[in-house]
Amino acid sequence: MGATIPAPEASPVGAAPLPVWTRFLPAGRVVVREGDAGSSMFVILEGKVGVYREAGPREGRQVGQLAGGGFFGELALLTNCPRTASVVTLERTVLRELSRTGLTLMGARHGLVAPVVAMRCRERLLADALSGSALLNELSPELWTQLGSALEPCSVEAGEQLLTYGSPGEALYILLRGRCGVFHTHAGGRTTSYPDMVEGDVFGEVSLLRGRRATATVRTLTPCTLLRLDREVFRKHFWGQAEMRRALVRLGMQRMHRTMEVITQPVD
């Protein structure tokens, strides 16, 4: 689990020129690279691959392995989000690469009908979110099962504002990849930076819980992949979940205390 990602001679495998394409790859070949765009997914027919993180708190670490019958790359295929990890062959490996059309044509042959792929994609995203967030780890498995069908993955370029100080928040966000800057705007227009949001951080809870305007501006500093829970979905399906409200209230109170400390700081 602590091995660093290999530095193979070959470049990552490209998108299949046909709806379905079979790849015969030697050991040490990068199949997909974290951060790249992707329009296909892969089924392992033979062999084994390693899954690596190249950025963030788990930089350079192998975070998993997949063998025959496993699949990967479905997030980029289904959502147009960048690849969230690098995948490298650990031995001679045979892969079947499927475009979106290929998944429709041949997915059932591998047990990959669209609902199954979408469900597995969400499971992986939720597991990723749980591994990076102490707050989310407090929630019960039952609640996470409900959240799984409500959270929507999204990809945002650097420089986009997700929350704007003084404006109503539209959603709760869980940051899976990337980094966001957080800024408080004082009465005279002066801004103060908070610590950046990093993988596993949750934000937008104050507006969702209290119906208040955002107490800070959150802007993406890098391209980011997030899970988004729409405000109306939260109000309709999760407002009555005391367990979730307690966790978000604790987080919101911490943020409110931090905001008060910033507001009361003397101006230099």
Could you tell me if 183 and 235 lie in one domain?
yes
Please report, for residues 59, 155, 156, 237, 251, the alpha-carbon distance to residue 144 in angstroms, rounded to integers and kept in the order given. Answer: 26, 21, 24, 13, 18
The reply to whether 172 falls in a domain is yes
Per-residue pLDDT of the chain (268 residues; tens, 9 = 90+): 444 555 544 456 655 556 888 999 999 999 999 888 888 889 999 999 999 987 654 455 788 899 998 999 888 887 778 888 899 999 999 999 988 887 777 777 777 777 777 777 777 777 777 766 766 777 787 777 777 778 888 889 999 999 988 888 889 898 988 899 998 877 777 788 888 988 888 888 877 776 677 878 999 999 898 889 898 888 888 877 887 777 777 776 776 666 666 556 655 5
Give the closest residue to 243 by CA, choosing from 143, 172, 150, 153: 143
Q: What's the CATH number where 104 sits? A: 2.60.120.10
How confident is the model at residue 145, as a pLDDT?
Answer: 74
Kindly report the pTM of this predicted structure.
0.71
pLDDT for 15: 52
Residue 223 in any domain: the answer is yes
Q: Which of 112, 143, 168 is the last residue of a domain?
A: 112
Residues 141 and 241 in one domain: yes
Q: What is the 3-state secondary structure (H, E, C) of the chain?
A: CCCCCCCCCCCCCCCCCCCEEEEEECCCCEEECCCCCCCEEEEEEECEEEEEECCCCCCCEEEEEEECCCEECHHHHHHCCCCCCEEEECCCEEEEEEEHHHHHHHHHHHCCCHHHHHHHHHHHHHHHHHHHCCCHHHCCHHHHHHHHCCCEEEEECCCCEEECCCCECCEEEEEEECCEEEEEECCCCCEEECCCECCCCEECHHHHHHCCECCCEEEECCCEEEEEEEHHHHHHHHCCCHHHHHHHHHHHHHHHHHHHHHHCCCCC
Q: Are residues 104 and 149 in the same domain?
A: no
pLDDT in the model for residue 99: 86
Residues 106, 175 within the same domain: no
> Which pLDDT belongs to residue 18?
63
Domain extent for 149: 130-263
pLDDT value at position 218?
Answer: 94
Count of structural domains, the chain: 2
Of 107, 126, 125, 129, the residue nearest 116 (C-alpha): 107
Indicate whether 268 belongs to any domain: no
Last residue of a domain, one of 53, 81, 112: 112
Instruction: State the pLDDT at residue 238.
Output: 81
| pLDDT for residue 1 | 42
User: 6 in a domain, yes or no?
Assistant: no
Single out the residue in 112, 140, 165 at which a domain terminates.
112
Question: Is 211 among the domain residues?
Answer: yes
Residue 208 lies in a domain: yes
